[in-house]
Structure 1
Amino acid sequence: MAPRVLVSDKLSPTAVQIFKDRGIEVDYLPDLGKDKEKLLQVIGQYDGLAIRSATKVTEKLIAAATRLKVVGRAGIGVDNVDIPAASRRGIIVMNTPFGNSITTAEHAIALMFAVARQIPEANASTHEGKWEKNRFMGVEITGKTLGIIGAGNIGSIVATRALGLKMHVVAFDPFLSESRAEELGVEKVELDELFARADFITLHTPLTDKTRNIINAGSLARMKDGVRIINCARGGLIVEADLIAALESGKVAGAGIDVFAAEPATDNPLFGMKNVVCTPHLGAATSEAQENVALQVAEQMSDYLVKGAVANAINMPSITAEEAPRLKPFVKLAEVLGSFIGQVTDDPIKEVEILFDGSTAQMNTKALISAALAGLIRPQMADVNMVSAPIMVKERGIIVAEVKRDKSGVFDGYIKLTVKTEHRQRAIAGTCFSDGKPRFIQIKGINLDAEVGRHMLYTTNSDAPGIIGLLGTLCGKNNVNIANFALGRDRPGGDAIALLYLDGPFPENVLAQVRAHEAIDSAKPLQFDVNEL
């Protein structure tokens, strides 16, 4: 029986034809995504679902999708898809991470011009028959300093366009290296320096725990008087109430906002403000971009449904059917190793070395490297996957080295990930036991055997009596249950580490008590995606 695909949002006719040309039955119902109940009734008939942003792929919908094998999102954001629920059901979720880059970058530049010259309001005034030439006094772009927060694919394009406009560009990005900044022609700075120097600030970073509310009352106070702010990335990056207050006080001279904290935004306090230009999430809204991502998602879904090939998958590596059973546990291991270092490292990463020892050196190391890099940068880059991670790392000038060697220790094979920043080097190694579960076997050169859990606590301290009792007592008093406890030290009385596998997230108040204790050097709560473990 031929695979059957439902297109529940608007895609181009050419994209629909791609499915048909591959022998796939396709139903093009572009308004169905807005009708949750009707979609729920019919989703069980389809092997594939092609969407944009209107269709919400919820846990309830996934439960009813008994035949569904793949969801294809034409665009980068997958906020409208319940990824964990899809993963648990074995449904692949694909996106098209780079199809909208030029379009979004151009929209940011357009908003910058519109805000600088008050074009929308001047246009409305002139259409009304007024001639208020003196009212709309703008500022020049030339010679001004543009601060770019997030120098990935879109941010880099904005930088090149701004340099062509004879602006000076400063950029903040935790993964931007000096060499990549030099290549782009931008000045790499810390965030506070960007706030202090920029005449215009444009946001091009994903929404993560570290970037949420990055523009707030505190950061606004550190900016130049009369700064202008552009946001074509994610609404949650800005505390809208704080921005409104800064606009009303004159601290911020103007803002160009394409994304909002709540969308669709039909009622927002920013609306009607004379020094604000608002657009309805138009960053990707050009005919070229819409066509590109539509064709790309149709190609990807067709390749999977017909050939079993996986590309741009959010929740599954690109692995052939033949190698999947053996490789899959080590893909999860590599991702977990990367995630560990990504969560404990705040400094910009300059180099990554991935060592494959013994049997792992004979595997598909490209997939393993991609998994490790995805885990490494996911705390900063929310929408990263195994396909896009190597590209994002390369864009930021991070050097990635692969080392293979014959078996050198007691394990048949293991992976060791080493990351270098300007100030330090971190290393972690792990392997998979016969049960296919990943294990940490070395951290900071210290041997241990630690099972990986969803919620963990990592501590460092000097080797001294009482640490186990200290951590156990604090957890016990605060009703924090420890599922497993692993310890290691480099020598008696030397450096020591502990990894606690917990039943739930480590409470902030207990974490403060741990960190305050004189015996503890550092303590970091960790979280790992263990749906497939």
Structure 2
Amino acid sequence: MPKVLVSDKLSPTAVQVFKDNGVEVDYQPDLGKDKDKLLEVIGQYDGLAIRSATKVTEKVIAAATNLKVIGRAGIGVDNVDIPLATKKGIIVMNTPFGNSITTAEHAISMMLSLARQIPEADASTRAGKWEKNRFMGVEVTNKTLGIIGCGNIGTIVADRAQGLKMRVLAFDPFLTADRAVEIGVEKVELDDLLARADFITLHTPLTDQTRNVLSAEAIGKAKKGVRIINCARGGLVDEAALAEALKSGHVAGAALDVFLEEPATANPLFDLPNVICTPHLGASTSEAQENVAVQVAEQISAYLMTGEITNALNFPSISAEEAPRITPFVKLAEALGSFAGQLTETSITGVRIEFEGDVADLNTRPMVAAALTGALKPLLADVNMVSAPQIAKDRGMQVETITREQQGAYDSYIRFTVITERQERSVAGTLFASGKPRIIQVKGINMEAEVTPYMLYVTNLDKPGHIGRLGTLLGELGINIANFNLGRTEQGGDAIALVSIDGTLTDDQLSRISALEDVKQAKALKFNL
């Protein structure tokens, strides 16, 4: 009988789920806070069920000699070292959709509280004052709500706001025009949203692309008197810039459930009268906590008893028999999706994934999920191979798959095409004898390049001297070249360089590369291999 440790607080119903499925469960809800005790006992267990208090560090994973699965009741897995767990063969699962309604409702509650100054009016009244004229609020009816990030939670917020008779704008690069019509929102660019919205609410993960999406510059473009709500992630809003805008009156008020540094025991925003602050309560309802607890218990039990994998962050849903053949192609598909996703800057309306040769006879569903994961991850940090297909569907992305017999020189290859409102962009790859992914075509240009963790992608005009100038500049910038791969359409036409380098590029270095003669585009690419 497999044995599971529950080291954080889960509901009695969840504990019973383990027992009902024939899993021995050891419920020690405070053990996660005791690092030394956790290290001492973790080797006894096949599964670990946690919330946020338990930190699954390198030491814990090293001591977990029998551990097969970690289940996080909730979406965030910052407290789990996923790369090390993966290396040791431990499946890491989460429950990505259990908190959606609760978080959306909290955002709406914060918006209404902000509109009517409810917390401040409550404090004033409790202090024995009767300042009826002081707390003049605003109606939300017929006001415009701007939603930044219209995925699962953002869509629920839009639905609730429409029930309040609000006009809803949405900025989301992955939201298609058809999907926007379906959920009743107006799809706009960020500057348009800023200029028109009376209220702005954020519902996007924190990534390099979304960090400070409401920067000082963006806040300056916002409509005077706007009210800002953030129940998503700290770091999406420049807190210093927001404080200045609140003081000046450009922003009428803000309601924040999340902060750049948490626990937020001190923050300059706390001293401002037109700010509502709550301690990251987005998922804090009894219903949500029950849902994610029961769900994680069911997922862990299914894996330990039958081998079924659901909502895994580090492994596709494939059987043990399929794994040796499929896994290398899963990695190839994710690399191709990541390549295209990192180069795409406009809304994705659809993707096309073509499988040719021997790979077409395999189970391609995990490969499709992996390719979508790679494409979506640059903007959606929490996406995984289970959630990616649902996220694509929620955003109205059309996903087309094609399988066919071998027609070219390669026994197997995969082509991934991103379709946007402006263009189509394709990248194709295959596996060589080493089993490592290789790029064989980009935008119709044939080439051969091994996928490495850090790469520089450059498009340019095929003119003499370009390679020398690029190589010289990389040397001057102290950037070591591991491999230099080239391709072109024709003499004097469009050309591509894919350069494997030994580290990341700074924005300044990339700007200098972009400024080289004949360079059309330069992008730094990063792959999780």
Counterpart of 1:135 in structure 2 is 134
1:477-492 correspondence to structure 2 within 5 Å: 477-492=476-491
Number of the residue aligned with 1:305: 304
- Which amino acid in 2 is paired with 1:416? R
Question: In the comparison of the two structures, how many residue pairs are matched?
Answer: 529
Q: Please state how far the C-alpha of 1:291 moved relative to its aligned partner.
A: 0.7
**Alignment-derived partner of residue 232 in structure 1:** 231
Give the Å deviation of 1:36: 2.3
Who is 1:50 aligned against? 49
d(CA) in 2 for partners of 1:127, 1:462: 71
- Supply the AA of the counterpart residue of 2:11: S
Partner of 1:264: 263
TM-fit CA distance, 1:489: 1.3
The equivalent residue for 1:279 is 278
State the partner residue of 2:428: 429
Aligned residue number for residue 182 of structure 2: 183
**Residue equivalent to 1:363:** 362
Is structure 2 residue 287 aligned with structure 1 residue 288? yes
Aligned-residue offset at 1:3: 1.9
Query: Which is worse superposed, 472-481 or 154-163?
Result: 472-481
C-alpha deviation, 1:374, in angstroms:
0.5
What secondary structure sits across from 2:18 in the alignment?
helix
User: Is residue 98 of structure 1 aligned with residue 103 of structure 2?
Assistant: no
Deviations 1:386-441, CA, capped at 9 Å, x for gaps? 11111111111111111111111011111101111111210000111222111101
Q: What RMSD, in angstroms, separates the aligned Cα atoms of the two structures?
A: 1.3
Q: Return the alpha-carbon distance in structure 1 between the equivalents of residues 13 and 179 of structure 2.
A: 37
1:63 pairs with 2:62: yes
CA drift at 1:485: 1.5
Query: Structure 2: how far apart are the matches of 1:166 and 1:249?
Result: 30
Distance in 2 of aligned mates of 1:4 and 1:254: 50
**In the alignment, is the contact (CA less than 8 A) between 2:147 and 2:201 conserved in 1?**
yes
The answer as to whether partners of 2:43 and 2:64 remain within 8 angstroms in 1 is yes
Specify the code of the residue in structure 1 equivalent to 2:371.
Answer: A
| Structure 1 residue 144 corresponds to structure 2 residue 143 | yes
Q: Which amino acid aligns with 2:346?
A: D
**Higher mean C-alpha displacement, 104-113 vs 267-276:** 267-276
1:3 alignment partner in structure 2: 2
CA distance in 2: counterparts of 1:14 and 1:211, whole angstroms:
37
**Is residue 177–residue 187 contact of structure 2 (8 Å, CA) maintained in 1?**
yes
Q: What amino acid is the match of 2:375?
A: L
**Structure 2 residue 27 is matched with structure 1 residue 15:** no
- Partners of 1:392 and 1:31 in 2: CA distance: 35
Q: Secondary structure, in 3 states, of the residue corresponding to 1:459?
A: strand
| Aligned residue number for residue 528 of structure 1 | 527
| Long gaps (5+) in structure 2 | none
Helix, strand or coil: the match of 1:237?
coil
- Are the counterparts in 1 of residues 91 and 315 from structure 2 also a CA contact under 8 Å? yes
Q: How far apart are the structure 2 equivalents of 1:477 and 1:7?
A: 54
Q: Which position in structure 2 is the counterpart of 1:373?
A: 372
Q: Which residue of 1 aligns with 2:333?
A: 334
Distance (Å, rounded) in 1 between the aligned partners of 2:507 and 2:226: 36
- Structure 1, residues 206-253: CA drift from partner, whole Å, max 9, x if none? 000000111121111111111111111001111112111111221111
Conservation of the 8 A alpha-carbon contact between 2:466 and 2:517: no
Q: In the alignment, which residue of structure 2 is the partner of 1:222?
A: 221
Give the TM-score normalised by the residue count of structure 1.
0.97
C-alpha separation between the residues in 1 aligned to 2:304 and 2:428? 36
Query: Residue type matched to 1:297 in 2?
Result: V
1:412 has 2:420 as partner? no
Question: How far apart are residue 204 of structure 1 and its match?
Answer: 0.2
Query: What's the counterpart of residue 492 of structure 2?
Result: 493
Alignment of 1:453-464 (within 5 A): 453-464=452-463
Alignment check: 8 A CA contact 1:456 1:506 kept: no
Distance 2:513 2:339 in 1: 20
Indicate the larger mover: 399-408 or 41-50: 41-50
Distance in 2, Cα, partners of 1:272 & 1:34 = 32
- After superposing the two structures, state which structure 1 stretch, 40-49 or 100-109, moved more: 40-49
Aligned-residue offset at 1:262:
1.2
CA distance in 2, matches of 1:91, 1:260: 31
Say which is worse superposed, 247-256 or 263-272, in terms of deviation: 263-272
Shift of 1:8: 1.3
Residue 125 of structure 1, CA deviation: 2.0
Equivalent-residue separation in structure 1 for 2:59 and 2:280 (angstroms) = 27
Give the distance between the partners of 1:128 and 1:521, measured in 2 at CA. Answer: 64
Q: Which moved more, 1:248-257 or 1:192-201?
A: 248-257
Structure 1: any 5+ residue segments left out of the alignment? none
Task: Indicate the SS of the match to 1:453.
Answer: coil
CA pair 256-323 structure 1, distance change in 2 beyond 3 A: same
Q: Could you tell me how far 1:470 is from its partner in structure 2?
A: 2.2
Secondary structure of the residue aligned to 1:468 is helix
On the 8 A contact 1:474/1:510 being kept in 2, the answer is no
Normalization by structure 2: what TM-score?
0.98
How far did residue 507 of structure 1 move? Answer: 4.0
TM-aligned CA deviation for residue 336 of structure 1: 0.3
Provide the residue aligned with 1:345 in structure 2.
344
| Contact 1:415/1:429, CA 8 A, preserved across alignment | yes
CA displacement at 1:272 relative to structure 2: 4.1
Q: Which digits, 9 at most, give the CA deviation of each residue in 1:5-39, with x for residues without a partner?
A: 11111111111111122222221111222222322
Structure 2 CA distance for aligned equivalents of residues 100 and 237 of structure 1: 20
Looking at structure 1, the residues matched to 509 and 223 of structure 2 have their Cα atoms a distance apart, in angstroms, of 39
